[in-house]
Structure 1
Amino acid sequence: MYDFITDIHSNSTAVRYKRNQLKKKIVYRMNSSGPQTIPLLSRELKISMPSVDRLIKELIADAFVEDMGEGPSEGGRKPHQYKIKPSSYYSLCLDISISEVKMALIDFNNGIHHPIKTHFKRLEDNQEYVEWLVSIIELFIIESAVSFSKISGISIALPGLIDPDKKVSRSYFTQLEPNLWDYLQIKLNKEVLIDNDARLMTRGEHVFGLAAGKNDVLCINVGAGLGMGMILNGQLYRGNTGSAAEFGHIKSTNSSLPCYCGQEGCLETIISGPAMEKNAMAELSKEDISAIRKITEADDKSFYEGILDFAKQGNASCKKIIQDTGHELGLGISTLIILLNPEMIIIGGCFAGTGDLIINPIKQAMLSIPVQKFAEGTEIVTSQLGHQAVLLGAHVSLIQHLFKDVM
């Protein structure tokens, strides 16, 4: 890691520390706001243009920043624009679900550098699974051809109850010694952050997606499970112990099915990828099931994603499965609207980009409950970020951790 990012005040002179803090501020502004000019940085950081010029030259010499050439005129001579060099540093981000693991390298310009890699393996609450996780991370780094020294840290999305500040997972790997954070950090020799997958999806949407600039947003993540994150008053809301917004484990009057959490009748048992798969086995023809399996195996997709693909293509039985799922989701969303009165609800995960296919049955279900007066001004949309939302949120989490002292 470049020393100006990891530099600690107690280990450096006051002059060096101040200089490194200014470099961090410059890099963070480039990460959060895009290309910068020397006059703009001078105004924002309240330091002289010659000082900014010297800092920029040092960052260029460090191969961290690059000159983009002349930008738009700010009145007079056109200033040069500078941005973070894409190959300078990366976040290694993982999205672990009940049935699969997605991995991506994301550069400090917020671009996904390496194709997203997916491994299909059921999440197991044991040390063997964690050791497998370490092995696929190491292999992914080797295959990416990115120098290990350029990976700034590892940020992981995990389902279940997680308190990232206390490094506590209450759902998985509770018996692992040392805790999951420290175990992975020792094995991989990188700083490791872990947070709930739906909350990281919400971070991704709030920075890069439809929730950008909004103050009160609910993000619902439908996939191997059912999760939710909340932006309240412009901030990610975690609750007292980090377990707020466990939407998937609210009881449903329409289900008595057992849930992995130990309860019966959780919303997740009827609104999730596995729930759609169970319905498909009962409602689809053998020919349709065989066709979906053939396509999903060839494309490295889960079976429930294949159901969605067939529904988009007009398959009536698959469309009915989506409509039934949307109806149950709409009933649950009605309660959320009455409780929280959000300005936007984003449906993500496997339903990202499905538009009216899922939105229409949600709205139809809401008509059966008198929520219209509560729902005025609440927009219900599907995510445009797709599966990238969780990975981008994991990246945001790591960036904010690295630059927290200059934000």
Structure 2
Amino acid sequence: MASKTDYYKKKILKELCFGSVLSGTEISTRIERSLPLTLRILTELVEEGIVEEKGYAPSTGGRRPLMYSLVAGKMYVVSVAMDQLITKIGLVDLQNAQIVKADKFPIDLKQHADSLAELTRYIKSYCDASGISYNKIIGVGIGMPGFVDVRKGINYSYLDNKGKSIVKHLEEELGLPVFIDNDSSLIALAEFKLGAARGKNNAMVINTNWGVGLGMIINGELFRGYNGFAGEFSHMPLFNNNKLCSCGKSGCLETEASLLEVIEKMKQGLKNGRVSILKKIPDDYEEACSVIIGAAVKGDQFAVELLSEIAYNIGRGIAILIHILNPELIVLSGRGASAGHLWLAPVQQAVNRYCIPRLAAYTTITVSNFNTEAELIGAAALVVENFEKDPTENILADHVINQ
């Protein structure tokens, strides 16, 4: 069993993650322990080389407090961002949330029955090739699409493990603590902890991707619902278009508002003679998406038209969210957010049309700066959020500090 000192070390390190610079008094308040105990543990962490003193805070009258932060290059998380077509694995330095190295791996969740074995193999090879000692990696965070039961460690849509926990399988294979969650929930966590929704108690984060995901911050906490399935924004039945959705139903928001829809309409439009600076769309979906968004940002009329169309449709869904949840903020994040301000006018137009003005007046809509990195950052935040909940009971002081 871990000592109380080791447990408090974990709590202090958690507070200092992602670039926080805090005084001993601030840390003492956050971990709810006495200042003398907090300062003693901080001194130990400084001596062990994982925390450093950052000088004294600016004077506000009275004695200036000594400030502390993590040391760069001492604590990392392996972050995994999965979608239906592409998996990205990145190494995140917890001192500043910097993604040190990120690689792409071809895991097609719809086609590959052995996706879990592939994922395990890719994470192992990535860690081995990273040049970072396993002793500095404090966990693996994985975002994935589908119906993810966080408590059971199961994804009911993908990564079949014959009903057994994905988490336990990966921990046994990797020898590291592993935490999983739905991709849109992790994008919301990234925005809540470090991005556009930081400090907000009630915010909705839209994941613009191959589907249209939703992560919800309610009363200052990430809301997952009864068993983690909340936020299936993609599958709101908004259209009578007789288009089959990936969920098996028809008319879902996803059928008129996904980036896959943009790609297919762009290909068909070019085939039918629509004028565009683009002459051919790459077969690779991620590359195709990047090319089309790039053209739209440059002012290509056809590309702007297609993005505006899905943005307007997402705005229809947002109007429903505003009516039901009355959020303070809505953040457009995920892969599509790289289109920036092009989202705002058509989304706002739909909100103006479909939402009661008095309700809409209290909700701000913005676009994230994280876009393609949001899920990787969220996966790192997931591991940090679970420091004290490490299911293997590996104590961070044993795992990292004493190396």
Alpha-carbon offset, residue 174 of structure 1: 3.9
2:157 aligns to what? Answer: 171
Give yes or no for the alignment of 1:95 onto 2:81: yes
Tell me the SS of whatever aligns to 2:157: coil
Alpha-carbon offset, residue 130 of structure 1: 1.9
2:118 aligns to what? Answer: 132
Give yes or no for the alignment of 1:303 onto 2:288: yes
Query: Paired residue for 1:111, among 77, 93, 97?
Result: 97
CA contact (8 A) 1:231 1:237 kept: yes
216-225 or 165-174: bigger deviation: 165-174
C-alpha distance 95-46 of structure 1, shift in aligned 2 (>3 A): closer
309-318 or 114-123: bigger deviation: 114-123
C-alpha distance 274-78 of structure 1, shift in aligned 2 (>3 A): same
Q: How does 1:126-165 map to 2 (within 5 A)?
A: 126-165=112-151
Distance across 2 between alignment mates of 1:143 and 1:65? 27
Tell me the SS of whatever aligns to 1:257: coil
1:85-132 Cα shifts (integer Å, max 9, x gaps): 122211111110011112211222242242322234422465522222
Give yes or no for the alignment of 1:194 onto 2:180: yes
Query: Paired residue for 1:62, among 32, 39, 48?
Result: 48
Give yes or no for the alignment of 1:379 onto 2:364: yes
Gaps of 5+ in 2: 391-403
Query: Paired residue for 2:213, among 214, 227, 241?
Result: 227
What is the one-letter code of the residue matched to 2:376? L
C-alpha distance 169-317 of structure 1, shift in aligned 2 (>3 A): same
Query: Paired residue for 1:216, among 189, 202, 216?
Result: 202
Distance across 1 between alignment mates of 2:248 and 2:338? 32
Distance across 1 between alignment mates of 2:318 and 2:99? 36
Distance across 1 between alignment mates of 2:35 and 2:360? 50
Alpha-carbon offset, residue 231 of structure 1: 1.1
Distance across 2 between alignment mates of 1:24 and 1:368? 49
Q: TM-score, normalised by structure 1?
A: 0.86
CA contact (8 A) 2:239 2:252 kept: no
C-alpha distance 244-58 of structure 1, shift in aligned 2 (>3 A): same
CA contact (8 A) 1:94 1:104 kept: yes
| Structure with larger RCO (C-alpha < 8 A, sep 6+) | 2
Distance across 1 between alignment mates of 2:189 and 2:90? 16
CA contact (8 A) 1:281 1:289 kept: no
Distance across 2 between alignment mates of 1:47 and 1:268? 51
193-202 or 129-138: bigger deviation: 129-138
What RMSD, in angstroms, separates the aligned Cα atoms of the two structures? 2.7
1:8 aligns to what? Answer: none
Q: How does 1:334-349 map to 2 (within 5 A)?
A: 334-349=319-334
Distance across 1 between alignment mates of 2:59 and 2:90? 37
CA contact (8 A) 1:326 1:362 kept: yes
C-alpha distance 320-183 of structure 1, shift in aligned 2 (>3 A): same
C-alpha distance 36-335 of structure 1, shift in aligned 2 (>3 A): closer
Distance across 2 between alignment mates of 1:129 and 1:281? 29
Distance across 2 between alignment mates of 1:53 and 1:237? 34
Distance across 1 between alignment mates of 2:359 and 2:350? 15
2:303 aligns to what? Answer: 318
Query: Paired residue for 2:228, among 242, 252, 257?
Result: 242
119-128 or 89-98: bigger deviation: 119-128
325-334 or 274-283: bigger deviation: 325-334
Alpha-carbon offset, residue 53 of structure 1: 4.4
32-41 or 377-386: bigger deviation: 32-41
What is the one-letter code of the residue matched to 2:261? A
1:234-292 Cα shifts (integer Å, max 9, x gaps): 22111122111201011122432112222222211221111111111111368855455
